[in-house]
Amino acid sequence: MWNSYIGKRILGFKYAFRGAWMLLKSEASIQVQVVVAIVMTFAGCYYELSPVEWVLQTLAIALVLGIEGLNTAIEELADFVHPDHHNKIGKIKDVAAGAVFFAAIAALIIGVIIYGPKI
């Protein structure tokens, strides 16, 4: 069964869920982002967001969490390839962190656009 198309999709989901769980258990930055996502979800319920606002908020949350996950993967891979300090590895890690920064700024702007008029 696991060699069939459906079986491979089920295994893929299993691996993805395991990776998400590992992120949630071990990465403080993801834990903070999830708390922020939960707070913003409650805020969305309180302020009765429109469907479009919910979509934008959900996309902003997913963008930040997804990029944060990729950043963690890049850092883990870089540490595995070159455990000692190396300038190129440092640059790679900084660039990955910069991507998270851009996603977080975009999410903040979306939050201000959505919640600014409501507050």
CATH classification at residue 42: 1.10.287.3610
In a domain, 5, yes or no: no
- Model confidence pLDDT, tens digit, residues 37-71: 999 999 999 999 999 999 999 999 999 999 999 99
What is the average pLDDT value for the chain, to the nearest integer? 95
Residue 14 lies inside a defined structural domain of this protein = no
Q: How many domains does the chain have?
A: 1
Helix, strand, coil proportions of the chain in percent (round to 5)?
85, 0, 15
Q: Which two tokens stand for residue 71?
A: 């950043």
In a domain, 8, yes or no: no
What residues make up the domain containing 79? 27-118
Residue 4 belongs to some domain of the structure: no
